[in-house]
Amino acid sequence: MSDSAVLTLNAGSSSLKFAIFTNVERPRRLWSGAIERIGLPGARFRLSDARGAVFREKTGTIADHDTALKRLLLAIEHEASGVKLVAVGHRIAHGGPDCDCPEQVTPTLRARLQQLTALAPLHLPANIAGIDAVRIARPDLTQIACFDTSFHRDLPPIARLSGLPRALQDEGLRRFGFHGLSYEYIVKALRDAGVAVDAERIVVAHLGNGASMCAIRDGKSLETTMGFSTIAGLPMGTRSGDVDPGLLLHLLIDKEMTPEAVSQMLYAESGLLGLSGISRNMQELLQRPDDAAAEAVAYFCYHARRHLAGLTATLGGVDRLVFTGGIGANAPQVRAGICDRLGYLGIELNKSANLRGDPVISTGSVGVTVEVRQTDEEAMIAGHVHQFMASQPMAREA
């Protein structure tokens, strides 16, 4: 008998990250991997087992997301004939103001996502391409959209406001927040570890090529550094983070830059890449002796520290700080830079534990527990898909 399985997809503009889980109440990862440089020279397909060991890696030409997905499905058939895919879970960057839970993909939902692309131009077109690729290759599979904005659906009304005229707020131009699947996973992991999540004031720092922080109380989002868009808040790999609106007006009016050029700059040419002039990759910058690389890292840590301190004002203090994401979980220099001079909040790192990347890196002599945790958005998606399928066993792609 074939084992039922769920495929999770996180489609980027030139990449397709994926994982395959058995369709059980506690999803078990079978494989994971990525198809990178889609539509570009030197495309790469990587497939790893549950332990993370790469057992298939190929390079070549992969023209588009449709071709990438076909390659992935062929690999699944080749590697595990005993696995039967029953559903696909998609990480969708933005669900708009009405999205507060996973939804089955229908033509109506796809049309709504298409209308929202201006709100997440870096992510939603690729997310939609992933949905379309599955529909073409495997129309029999149920597709479930899991939204990165849904964790922040309970943001307090005051935190949703943008400061612009009320009429625009009423049109839905509000603060949303992102990286919700990661925050949801961390909250679940803390509960599973016996942490009294409902009694603690928690800040989670999801730091990667995209970076944000979230203040959490009673397991819910109270405030987050991203807002209306994914360029707000902390500086990132290629995204600017917060910029004085007057500076943007200056670029548009006085420098006569086009809106398209400003958008390209904010999303793709700023942040670590723009400041260093070298790379968007934090590990590469940490290894470079260049002054520009060091300044880009210092800028990232400075603004992350500033936002972290601000989130504690929303919570009225902090009991636990969790670092996650590719940078948060793997760059002790960055963790140390962010926590520097935050002793007044009760944040103090054990230098040796931090360098080792221990699960707990705080000294233990002060009140705030500082942790390092790997996030697993794919497992969160697989869990949502299982719950949806269990509650609606007759669900099918509409």
Residue 376 designated active-site: no
Written as six digits, the tokens of 379 are 């497992």
Q: In what order do the strands lie in the sheet with 320-324?
A: 220-224, 211-217, 201-207, 320-324, 369-372
How many residues are recorded in the chain? 398
User: Which residue among the candidates 3, 66, 98, 148 is catalytic per the annotation?
Assistant: 148
Count CB atoms within 10 A of the CB of residue 180: 28
Collect contacts of 186-195 with beta carbons under 8 A, ≥24 apart. 186/322, 186/324, 186/373, 186/375, 187/216, 187/219, 188/380, 189/373, 190/320, 190/322, 191/219, 195/320
Token representation of residue 220: 């819910």
**Are the C-beta atoms of residues 202 and 190 closer than 8 Å to each other?**
yes
Beta-carbon contacts of residue 145 (< 8 Å; ≥ 6 apart): 90, 92, 95, 102, 103, 104, 105, 109, 113, 131
Catalytically active residues are 148
